[in-house]
Amino acid sequence: MRLEAGEILRVRAIGRGARLHHFEEGSGGHVATLELPRRGPAIFREGEDAFFLERGKGWIRSYFQMWDAEREWLGASYRWSPWRRRIVVHVANGTYNLLPSAGFGRGFRLVDARGDVVLELRPERAFSRTWRVAPLRRVEPAVVALVFFLARRHALESLLPGGRARAARRT
């Protein structure tokens, strides 16, 4: 599930409590699943691959790590303060910032180190349980899983608009 620029991915919450999320392509085909158990790590399954998201030890708010089945590190996130709305996301190919969307309403955008928007996440409607993931550049599945997990966890913090970022350059 490597997302190319311009592809739209829908993420639907299934069941009460939204503990299961289905990732679907624009045509309605099932691509991946994110399971959020009450205890233990979250599990992102894409075909035969499985990624595990677990909270890191320590006092830093929003410190999560992502591992594959062989316990190989894939990414991490942290936020130094609950008053700052920027979440720093580290993955193998770079460092990104997860920021609230520019306008009022729920939603996030993933911004790279140069300030270009890489990925946008927004609910389809105001109180919808279905999210829309729109990449503006090529994005790896591990990045999509980690960023959606963080966006879902901090959804209410994105109600007020965030700062500005440049639009991604199409290459």
Q: Which domains, ranges and CATH numbers included, belong to the chain?
A: 9-158 (2.40.160.200)
pLDDT value of position 170:
45
pLDDT value of position 157:
65
pLDDT value of position 62:
64
pLDDT value of position 59:
58
pLDDT value of position 76:
80
Which residue, 4, 26, 28, is CA-closest to 118? Answer: 4
pLDDT < 70: residue spans in the chain: 1-2, 17-18, 28, 58-62, 80-84, 105, 155-171
pLDDT value of position 26:
72
pLDDT value of position 89:
85
